[in-house]
Amino acid sequence: MYADIIVDISHENLDKTYQYAIPDSLLNKVKVGTLVKVPFGKGNRFLKGYVVGLSDIPSWDPERIKPVAEVEEKGLMIESQLIQLAYWIKDNYGSTMNDALKTVIPVKKKVKAKEKKQIELVADHRVASQYLGEFRRKKYSGKVRLLEALLEFGILDQEIVKNKLSVGRETVKSLERDGLIRVVTEQLYRNPVKNLVQSVSHVRLNETQQQIADAVINEYQNGIRKTYYIHGITGSGKTEVYMEIIAKVVAEGKQVIMLIPEISLTYQTVMRFYSRFGDRVSFLHSKLSGGERYDQYFRAKNGEIDIMIGPRSALFTPFQNLGFIIIDEEHEGSYKSESPPKYHAREAALERARLTGSSVLLGSATPSVESYQKALSGEYKLFTMDKRAGHAKLPKVWIVDLREELKKQNKSIFSYKLKELMEDRLLHKQQIMLFLNRRGYAGFVSCRSCGHVMKCPHCDVSLTSHNNGALICHYCGYEEVMPKACPSCGSKFIASFGTGTQKVEELVRREFPMARVLRMDTDTTSKKGGHEEILSAFKNQEADILIGTQMIVKGHDFPNVTLVGVLAADLSLFSSDYRSGERTFQLLAQAAGRAGRGELDGEVVIQTYQPEHYSIVAAATENYQQFYEQEIAYRTLMSYPPAEHMVAVMIASKEEEKARIASKVLYNRLEYTQNDAADTEQNKDAIVKIIGPVKASVSKINDIYRWVIYLKCKEYEKLKELKNMLQVYMEQEEFFKKCSVQFDFDPIHSY
Ligand code: ADP
Ligand code: ZN
Ligand code: ZN
């Protein structure tokens, strides 16, 4: 047996592995993740290294492969744990070990230790104010700006002084000579929340909250480790429960990771946690530089913090003594990685919890179907919170049938009901949010007279219109031409759909010329901070109407919003994707949750061509159970996850022919293996369905051609076996050197 070993885990070249032989005496001690000592280089200097792979094939002359010298056994190091987790990710999702290691091991990029300079006011306010008066008289505008800002804030980053206040070095020096200010230098590895104040008061949990927190903490303190689920409507007080549990787990000397979607990591959230946990909590988010990010991991490893909050990557925080992992908004798509390894943070969290003996708590107002199924089956312990914690009531919801509007000659994007309510709100100076369901961009084709949607005759998904006028099914490759009239009612009003936010803004301005309008989408938020800027402008009531996509339905509370309009609720229903019903329910329930968060009652208008669709009916009443029962029946019928597991095998090549042939070859290989197995297989659950190969829905990106094969099976292990079989096969075949093949297990979107 041979082991692949990395001798320098903290460096950028994680891919540099060396092969060593494992002596018989150490055979059962050497596993992936084990820390070992090996002779290295010409002088055979002994170095420590980690095992990242095992194999029985020598990579070169076996005579010259040196043996592992010894196994280090002093406790399980955090690196060992993370390497084990990387191995699990590689094995479970089909990536290279190198990609998996890069995902889990925070790597220090070679950045110069940044030195941060700050300008601090040292004179007392009375003296400073006198100087300020004098500077104003003398019209020393630079000095005035700096002193005004310092009188307000006390201390400022030099960067802000230089770039935002446009105050030059000479001005700073001059004030320093006057004894008004000083320049402080701070070695950067800083706590991003250090300068905030910690407050002691926090809310008293209500009965439901207390019961849940007690149940979890009791079991934790008794050494019981399991997975919990809180299904609680928006505003029911889940976050308060999380904080209570965190406090108790930390008091046991353990550490906690809490995952939340980046979009929910607002200033308010940060402040809430900081004011409860002070310096012991840290946050990871995409605005941190590589160096700052590394600093946060380093603080965690050093025991300087107990709580790490952040999106997906926070899961790999190197806590030595992890005890609990919380995943808020567990259903969020952003927990699934889009690039290899295509892991799901929720599943990887369960694995990390298993490796470390931690418990896991999942929470959401709109659970994912897979998690809820596990909660119902008892695999997760389920708690329910069905009332809002504060005084806010649930909003009144109107479902508007857009087919009826057309019959009434209303061709505008605003139904009569929505228009009437918008006028009312503008009159009363209350705010409005208009939500456009962006998933519809995939371009499904529907009839505006009867609502008929063009669907594939073989699969229960909508066809997607392509530029050349063809309608294509992305699951099976079925193709037909775009009809001139609706096949159901004969109307000419059949067209592919997709109204952009920009277009909506234009129409709003035309219809309500007096209203102040803000738009939030990827165009308006692309610059740094654009997102926060728009939200805070709206919160400060600098606009009457906020138009946006998914982005506006999450995060902030706007107490003055009393009307939410969903312009075309079904745009997401017929994207060619088996999760579209789930996504629609989640988006609508969340959008509805935005109205009436404050003292004022809220109303919601959902405009749709499918008023009877279960996702829409259930979302209007925030009735998750009702939605779940319909959805799980559909998934079971169609063998979609979680009824069966699914893997997308994505084949890509620069050469069109190569991609097509490669996908055909892999398909044949799979079918051959399956036919072989089917003869002997007794277990019905192990039967694999092979679908494809078909062109991917975006069949060419950057001149790379893409094909896809879908595999479905009840047993995840079986799909893993096939993945491993394909990987071994492709390694041996020269032909596959020019193709890239990626695996996506239980994909959250179609290819
Ligand atoms: P969720 O995480 O379920 O959306 P939060 O924990 O954010 O809910 O609570 C929603 C609002 O209700 C917050 O403003 C929070 O401060 C408040 N809140 C939560 N629990 C209580 C409580 N026990 N007493 C008073 N207010 C509460
Ligand atoms: Zn089809
Ligand atoms: Zn029709």
Which tens digits make up the pLDDT trace of 530-581? 677 788 788 888 999 999 877 777 656 788 899 999 987 776 665 567 888 8
Q: Is 473 part of any known ligand binding site?
A: yes
Ligand 1 atom nearest residue 234's Cα: 4
CATH 3.40.50.300 domain range(s) in the chain: 207-385, 396-442+498-637
CB atoms within 10 A of CB 427: 8
Note the ligand closest to the C-alpha atom of 478: 2
Q: Is 459 part of any known ligand binding site?
A: yes
The amino acid occupying position 498 is: G
For residue 592, what pLDDT is reported? 81
* CATH for the 396-442+498-637 domain, from 3.40.50.300, 3.30.70.20, 3.40.50.970, 3.40.50.2300: 3.40.50.300
Smallest CA separation from ligand 1 atom 23, residue: 205
Q: Which of 117, 107, 109, 7 is nearest to 52 (CA)?
A: 7
CB atoms within 10 A of CB 600: 15
For residue 187, what pLDDT is reported? 46
Note the ligand closest to the C-alpha atom of 463: 2
Compute the Cα dihedral for 420, 424, 426, 430 and give only its sign: negative
Cα separation, 730 vs 717, whole angstroms: 20
Q: Tell me the β-bridge partners of 359.
A: 324
Q: Would you state the CATH architecture of domain 207-385?
A: 3-Layer(aba) Sandwich (3.40)
Pocket test for ligand 1, best of 208, 234, 239 (most atoms within 8 A of CB): 239
Q: Which of 354, 392, 350 is nearest to 370 (CA)?
A: 350
Smallest CA separation from ligand 1 atom 11, residue: 235
Cα separation, 620 vs 394, whole angstroms: 10
**Three-class secondary structure of residue 482 per DSSP:** coil
CATH topology classification for 2-104 = GIY-YIG endonuclease (3.40.1440)
Convert the pLDDT of each residue in 581-627 to its tens digit.
Answer: 898 898 888 888 777 666 778 899 999 988 999 999 998 888 899 99
Q: Which of 91, 70, 88 is nearest to 80 (CA)?
A: 88
**How far, in Å, is the centroid of ligand 2 from the Cα of 483?**
17
Mean pLDDT of the residues in the chain: 85
Q: Which of 463-472, 473-482, 639-648 has the lowest mean pLDDT?
A: 463-472
The helix (H) or strand (E) run that includes residue 694 is strand 689-701
Convert the pLDDT of each residue in 219-252 to its tens digit.
Answer: 999 999 999 999 998 888 999 999 999 999 999 9
Convert the pLDDT of each residue in 341-390 to its tens digit.
Answer: 999 999 999 999 999 999 999 999 999 999 999 999 999 999 999 888 76
Q: Is 476 part of any known ligand binding site?
A: yes
Tokens of 70: 């010894």
Smallest CA separation from ligand 1 atom 19, residue: 237
**How far, in Å, is the centroid of ligand 1 from the Cα of 234?**
9
Compute the Cα dihedral for 526, 529, 533, 539 and give only its sign: positive
Q: Is 739 part of any known ligand binding site?
A: no
Note the ligand closest to the C-alpha atom of 403: 3
Q: What is the mean pLDDT of residues 176-187?
A: 81
Q: Tell me the β-bridge partners of 118.
A: 157, 184
Smallest CA separation from ligand 1 atom 15, residue: 237
Structural class in CATH, domain 645-745: alpha beta
CATH 3.30.70.600 domain range(s) in the chain: 645-745
Q: Is 713 part of any known ligand binding site?
A: no
The set of protein residues with a Cβ atom below 6 angstroms from ligand 1 is 203-206, 209, 232, 234-240, 389-390
The pLDDT confidence band at residue 96, using thresholds 50, 70 and 90, is confident
CATH 3.40.1440.60 domain range(s) in the chain: 2-104
**How far, in Å, is the centroid of ligand 1 from the Cα of 568?**
31
Compute the Cα dihedral for 6, 8, 10, 15 and give only its sign: negative
Note the ligand closest to the C-alpha atom of 472: 2
CB atoms within 10 A of CB 691: 18
**How far, in Å, is the centroid of ligand 2 from the Cα of 533?**
43
The helix (H) or strand (E) run that includes residue 282 is strand 281-283
Smallest CA separation from ligand 1 atom 4, residue: 235
Smallest CA separation from ligand 1 atom 8, residue: 237
